[in-house]
């Protein structure tokens, strides 16, 4: 094995594309398109793609990091719903461990990296468990912080083959309160308001609706978008691959609600949703959500719908399963700064345990 580093994703050798493509099958957040858009719009430090090759120059591992003051941070932020070291396909646990060990010895220890952070990660997947186990074995201290709950719903695949109306079955399984709200507010909307709801999928239509999306988001209850340009690029780039679903609801010719979803590999990802509080009494956000669910189930025939980040209470009405995501920081006890941070973390942990024990008894 041998290791090389690159400062920009466009400088990576073409052989890396196979790893990105195979990993993108698992998640859009692992693909080259995602990291390219991230680097273009959101980069605030020097990128360092650490790549380990085998003797034939085939990539075995791609690690997308920011590098700053001898520390490594995952190339991610609040837009990122999943991250992990990008190992080549068909590696077993031992091979993943051995490659990780090579990275630790040939890069982390050799270059006196104080610590590295992987975030957000699912700590139950084999790539993360093996990676972390190897760090522990080489005397790195591990700090794990809970970040968010991910709600999702898997549809019964047999329904497609039985020619049943899968959306109707899904809807009937929702809480009665949600069903009644959708039925009642839909009737109210039809009787009392001039309205139009459309789900846009073509590049030109989505581009034409960007201003409406921005207007709705700016009027919503949510904090202002960190980068509208990133969201626009995300929508339009994936629209060229027929993966973007942009739902826009208009009431009396005013933009009322918007939702941005991505459909990939038979999964629907709910990226953004917002509505103008002016139309709160019509539950226009809920009505649009229902329309989006119906579209991706009936038209796109997805097998899974994913709310990505956040444990908002309303999500459990739409979803049936959940999983946790974490930030994992590994402190290098062989550098002074790494050891100091490790000891500080351990001290805080011990104090919390002591206080919890003494004040609960």
CA distance 248 to 184: 20
What pLDDT, on the 0 to 100 scale, is given for residue 164? 44
What pLDDT, on the 0 to 100 scale, is given for residue 229? 95
Answer yes or no: pTM beyond 0.75.
yes
For residue 125, what are the β-bridge partners? none
180-210: pLDDT as tens digits: 999 999 999 888 778 899 999 999 999 999 9
Phi, psi angle pair for 88, to nearest 5°: -60, 155
Is it true that 2-149+324-359 and 156-302 share their CATH fold?
Answer: yes
73-109: pLDDT as tens digits: 999 988 999 999 999 999 999 999 999 999 999 999 9
Q: How confident is the model at residue 166 (pLDDT cuts 50, 70, 90)?
A: confident
Phi, psi angle pair for 61, to nearest 5°: -155, 130
Pair of tokens at residue 112: 């006196």
Could you tell me the CA-to-CA distances from 117 to 20, 64, 108, 114, 135 in Å, in that order? 21, 11, 12, 11, 12
Helix count and strand count (H, E) for the chain: 13, 13
Phi, psi angle pair for 249, to nearest 5°: -110, 130
In words, the CATH class of domain 2-149+324-359 is alpha beta
What pLDDT, on the 0 to 100 scale, is given for residue 265? 94
Q: Would you list the domain boundaries of the chain?
A: 2-149+324-359, 156-302
> What percent of the chain lies above the pLDDT cut of 90?
81
What pLDDT, on the 0 to 100 scale, is given for residue 37? 94
Please report how many Cα atoms fall inside a 13 Å half-sphere around the Cα of residue 13, on the Cβ side: 14
CB 199 within 8 A of CB 295: yes
For residue 197, what are the β-bridge partners? 249
52-79: pLDDT as tens digits: 999 999 999 999 999 988 999 999 988 9
Please report how many Cα atoms fall inside a 13 Å half-sphere around the Cα of residue 162, on the Cβ side: 8
What pLDDT, on the 0 to 100 scale, is given for residue 44? 67
Pair of tokens at residue 311: 């444990």
What pLDDT, on the 0 to 100 scale, is given for residue 45? 67
* Section 309-314 average pLDDT: 90
Name the CATH superfamily for 156-302.
Answer: Gcn5-related N-acetyltransferase (GNAT) (3.40.630.30)
Residue 131 predicted with pLDDT over 70: yes
Residue 160 predicted with pLDDT over 60: no
* Section 317-330 average pLDDT: 96
């Amino acid at each position: 094995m041998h290791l090389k580093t690159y400062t920009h994703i466009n400088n990576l050798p073409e052989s890396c594309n196979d790893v990105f493509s195979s990993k993108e099958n698992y998640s859009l957040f692992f693909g080259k398109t995602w990291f390219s858009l991230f680097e273009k719009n959101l980069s605030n430090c020097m990128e360092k793609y650490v790549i380990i090759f085998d003797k034939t120059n085939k990539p075995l591992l791609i690690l997308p990091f920011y590098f700053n003051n001898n520390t490594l941070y995952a190339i991610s932020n609040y837009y990122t719903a999943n991250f992990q070291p990008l190992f080549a396909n068909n590696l077993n646990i031992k091979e993943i461990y051995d490659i990780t060990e090579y990275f630790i010895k040939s890069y982390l220890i050799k270059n006196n990296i104080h610590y590295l952070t992987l975030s957000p990660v699912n700590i139950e997947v084999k790539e993360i468990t093996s990676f972390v186990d190897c760090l522990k074995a080489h005397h790195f201290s591990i700090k794990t912080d809970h970040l968010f709950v991910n709600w999702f719903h898997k549809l019964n695949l047999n329904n497609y083959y039985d020619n049943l109306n899968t959306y109707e079955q899904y809807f009937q399984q929702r809480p009665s309160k949600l069903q009644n709200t959708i039925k009642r507010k839909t009737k109210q909307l039809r009787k009392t308001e001039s309205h139009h709801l459309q789900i846009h999928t073509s590049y030109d239509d989505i581009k034409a609706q960007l201003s409406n999306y921005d207007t709705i988001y700016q009027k919503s209850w949510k904090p202002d978008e960190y980068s509208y340009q990133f969201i626009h690029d995300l929508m339009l780039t994936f629209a060229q691959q027929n993966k973007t679903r942009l739902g826009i609801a208009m009431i009396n010719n005013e933009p009322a609600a918007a939702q941005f979803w991505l459909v990939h590999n038979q999964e629907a990802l709910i990226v953004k949703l917002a509505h103008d509080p002016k139309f709160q009494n019509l539950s226009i956000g809920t009505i649009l959500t229902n329309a989006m669910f119906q579209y991706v189930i009936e038209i796109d025939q997805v097998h899974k719908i994913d709310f990505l980040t956040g444990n908002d209470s309303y999500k459990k009405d739409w979803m049936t399963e959940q999983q946790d995501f974490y930030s994992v920081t590994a402190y290098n006890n062989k550098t002074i700064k790494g050891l100091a941070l490790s000891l500080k973390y351990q001290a805080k942990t011990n104090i919390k345990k002591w206080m919890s024990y003494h004040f609960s008894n």
